[in-house]
């Protein structure tokens, strides 16, 4: 019987742990965890994300600060705001919602956030710490951190002897995911669009993680029987069966057919997605503990 991971349920358990940790820090050290979220422009999807992040921060007992800036904000103005937030002792996490409007140099903004406040885990210092195996010193990008919670809850902390294949080599997900699996002692292959006979590579995986942005690319005959399949893709495809002009969300994995072969699989939607905001809250409370000189909780 295949286990379908309920991402909402796992995310809720992470959020409960974050609430407990943030309350404990307040009780023991008098420190209230603080998160600042910055959004520029009018992208409706970004606004929906940001309001859910701000709402969740309040729910976790954090000080939640939101800066909503107009589309025509300049690079200099945004950089100045980031510097102000960097200096604010009451804030432990800073998040600049991406994508920024086209006239921004996004990379320069992201790299200007203090690494210890970079709760998105995108600063080169945090990427470098992860690459060198310093999992306790940096902050890990939220989506791979969330996917890793599923892997560890399925296979335990030590993945010795297991083959893991990550399809996708993005800085945002593929590379950090591979580093996390490696740190847990898995034998890791990073596959991508230039990989020869991708299906054969995937068939060797005890843990298969798909993050390429191609709808339902991974088929049942790519999956080793009994494997754990983590689907990170979010693709919108036409759904004429729902009516004219309607669409639905699918992952990078052909769920219905792969679920018959895999032992554990994540659905889309409702799998990795809910974990991203949960791990953002986890990173923020970790950052607050470190700043207070306390041992940070693990999630």
Positions marked catalytic: 53, 97, 120
Q: In this structure, what are the phi and psi dihedrals at residue 68, rounded to the nearest 5 degrees?
A: -105, 115
Q: How many Cβ atoms are within 10 Å of 85's Cβ, its own excluded?
A: 21
Rounded to 10 deg, the angle between the 273-291 and 142-155 helix axes is 100
Rounded to a whole number of angstroms, the distance between the first and last alpha carbons of the chain is 27
- Which two structure tokens, joined as six digits, stand for 279? 């791990």
Q: How many Cβ atoms are within 10 Å of 290's Cβ, its own excluded?
A: 16
Q: In this structure, what are the phi and psi dihedrals at residue 167, rounded to the nearest 5 degrees?
A: -95, 115
Determine the Cα–Cα distance for residues 185 and 182; give it in Å rounded to an integer: 5
Determine the Cα–Cα distance for residues 99 and 107; give it in Å rounded to an integer: 11
Indicate the SS3 state at residue 60: coil
Strands (E), 124-234: 163-167, 187-191, 207-210, 228-231
User: Diameter of the chain by CA atoms?
Assistant: 57
Determine the Cα–Cα distance for residues 108 and 150; give it in Å rounded to an integer: 32
């Amino acid at each position: 019987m295949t286990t379908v991971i309920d991402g909402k349920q796992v995310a809720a358990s992470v959020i409960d742990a974050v609430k407990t940790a943030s309350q404990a820090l307040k009780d023991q050290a008098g420190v209230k965890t603080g998160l600042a979220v910055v959004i520029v422009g009018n992208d409706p999807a970004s606004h929906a994300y940001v309001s859910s992040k701000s709402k969740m921060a309040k729910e976790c007992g954090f000080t939640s600060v939101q800066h909503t800036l107009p589309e025509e904000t300049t690079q200099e103005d945004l950089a100045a705001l980031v510097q102000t937030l960097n200096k604010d002792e009451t804030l432990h996490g800073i998040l600049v919602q991406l994508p920024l409007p086209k006239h921004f140099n996004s990379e320069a903004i992201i790299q200007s956030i203090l690494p210890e406040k970079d709760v998105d885990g995108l600063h080169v210092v945090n990427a470098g710490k992860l690459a060198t195996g310093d999992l306790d010193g940096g902050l890990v990008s939220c989506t791979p951190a969330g996917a890793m919670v599923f892997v560890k809850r399925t296979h335990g902390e030590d993945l010795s002897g297991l083959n893991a294949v990550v399809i996708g080599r993005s800085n945002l997900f593929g590379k950090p995911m591979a580093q996390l699996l490696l740190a847990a002692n898995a034998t890791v292959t990073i596959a991508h669009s230039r990989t020869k006979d991708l299906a054969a590579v995937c068939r060797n995986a005890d843990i298969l993680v798909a993050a390429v942005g191609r709808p339902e690319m991974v088929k049942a005959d790519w999956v080793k029987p009994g494997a754990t399949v983590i689907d990170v893709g979010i693709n919108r495809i036409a759904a004429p069966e729902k009516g004219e002009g309607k669409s639905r969300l699918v992952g990078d994995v052909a769920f219905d057919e792969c679920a018959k072969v895999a032992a554990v699989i994540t659905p889309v939607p409702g799998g990795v997605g809910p974990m991203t905001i949960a791990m953002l809250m986890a990173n923020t409370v970790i950052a607050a503990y470190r700043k207070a000189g306390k041992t940070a909780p693990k999630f």
